[in-house]
Amino acid sequence: MPLVKRKKKTIRARRRTGAAAAPVEKGFDSVLYYFQNEVDRKETIECTKSFIRTTFNKTDAKNILANPDYNFGHSYMGATSYWYTSGQEVNERSTYWHDSLVNRFKGYIDAGKTILKEKALEKKVEKNIVTLSPMQRLQNKISNTIMQDLLNLEDQWIEGEKTDIDIYSLFKKHGLPNSATLPVRQLIEGWLLDYDDALHARCDQAVEGYSHLKKPELKRRVKACQDMLLDLDKLKSAAKAQRKTRVKQPKAADKQVSKVKYKKEDSEFKLASINPVQIVGKTRLYTFNTKSRMLTEYITQSVGGFEISGTSIKNIDSVNSRTVKLRKPNEILALVLTKSVKQIHIAWDTLTTKSSVPNGRLNDDTILLKALDK
């Protein structure tokens, strides 16, 4: 019986995806654009880490990689790293980005040393029992909550969505303290610097990195970053306002404010009242009525400062005290919370609405913004 030759089966190669499918044959700029739009954050971080391991000596690489992962997720980092680790042709363009990347990672070495020292000390103190310090628990909570919210926002922007987030509400939702604002501020300020430099063409790297975005979108992102930073300022002011203060004469002050009416917090304007005990004895007070949008500056010339009787403030200087309705509350309220009396006075004089004499009464819609001794 004659033998029948069987046709040899051919196995199709799997379609390449992710970084492996980067169009290196089209040049370095095409790889940059590809990483911006096609490679996810996780793979970008892995490409960047591989580059660090092959570029730096073992000690420096260990220090750099001790930093949090969100430092290595930028698309230009992944693209440049992939270009060099995959052995592509070195040219003027790739050398420029390579040198920028190396200089940036050198700046991470000292921070990584500090992180590793802290970890080593913790292991030495507690060999068998694994416990987290309050600072570590806070860092974990920040990384798992608000940082994830911000990284998700950045992913949405990369995908072309015109989204934003409410930092003030998210801090309240996650139960984050005032101390958590620092790492969040650093991340947002970094975004703002990049977008602002690209918008006003102040940095060649930023201009090229965001060349795929039109000016209206850059302006929108700059505004979104500025709004988030303003929310962080309000959170800081709210934390100071709600901080317990030592009262010199607690009995007398407590009696004065026992019946006072005020609004503890307002979510629409993102404001929180100071403890009314702080008003007693002070010489200047700023309040804001969330219903009527009236901003009021109370001043007293009394040696003993303000007194409170029921729901009214006593010893008011009717000549210098004033109240005005705000057309754009957020702009002037931010100044009142963060600036000096002189700066507030200058801003107040620019308002077009007419000021009048306040009556000194507080109610359930009144936010107690700030009390001063001057």
The SS3 assignment for 350 reads coil
Question: Confidence band (pLDDT; 50, 70, 90) for 67?
Answer: very high
What pLDDT, in 10s, does the model give residues 343-369?
A: 999 999 999 899 999 998 999 999 999
* Range name among 8-12, 80-84, 149-153 with the lowest pLDDT average: 8-12
Neighbours of 256 (CB within 10 A): 21
Least confident of 8-12, 14-18, 129-133: 8-12
Task: Work out the pLDDT band at 239, boundaries 50, 70, 90.
Answer: confident
DSSP letter string, 51-63:
HHHHHS-HHHHHH
Asked if residue 298 has pLDDT above 60, the reply is yes
E strand segments, the chain: 265-266, 271-272, 284-289, 294-299, 307-309, 312-314, 322-325, 366-372
Min mean pLDDT across 62-76, 83-97, 130-144, 171-185 is at 130-144
pTM of the predicted structure, to 2 decimals: 0.44
DSSP letter (8 states) at residue 7? P
**pLDDT of res. 15:** 56
Taking residues 40-56, what's their average pLDDT?
92
Task: Evaluate if residue 13 carries a pLDDT over 60.
Answer: no
On average, the pLDDT of the chain sits at 87
Place of tokens 């001043």: 299
Range from 184-198, 215-229, 232-246 carrying the lowest mean pLDDT? 232-246
pLDDT of residue 252: 73
Whether 132 shows a pLDDT value over 90: the answer reads: no
The mean per-residue pLDDT over the stretch 185-199 comes to: 92
pLDDT of res. 20: 86
Res 295: pLDDT: 94
Interval 85-129: pLDDT, tens? 988 988 888 899 999 999 999 999 998 999 999 888 877 766 655
How much is the average pLDDT of 56-60?
93
DSSP string computed for 143-203: HHTHHHHHHHHHHHHHTT------HHHHHHHHT--GGGHHHHHHHHHHHHHHHHHHHTT--
What distance in Å separates the CA atoms of residue 286 and residue 364, rounded to the nearest whole number?
16
Q: Tell me how far apart the alpha carbons of residues 233 and 178 are, in angstroms, rounded to a whole number.
A: 10
Q: What number of CA atoms fall less than 13 Å from residue 285's CA on the CB side?
A: 33
Mean per-residue pLDDT, 279-300: 93
pLDDT at 368: 93
130 pLDDT higher than 70? no
Kindly indicate the confidence band of residue 240, based on its pLDDT and cuts at 50, 70 and 90: confident
- The answer on pLDDT for 275 being more than 70 is yes
Contact 192, 220 (CB under 8 A): no
* Gap between the terminal Cα atoms of the chain: 113
Tell me the Cα Rg of the chain. 29
> Is residue 227's pLDDT more than 90?
yes
Residues in the chain: 374
Among 38-52, 117-131, 132-146, which is the least confidently predicted range? 117-131
Residue 287 has pLDDT above 90, yes or no: yes
Distances (CA, A) of 27 to 16, 73, 157, 176: 18, 22, 25, 45
Q: What per-residue confidence (pLDDT) applies to 99?
A: 92
State the CB neighbour count (10 A cutoff) for residue 59.
10
Tell me, what's the pLDDT at 250? Answer: 45
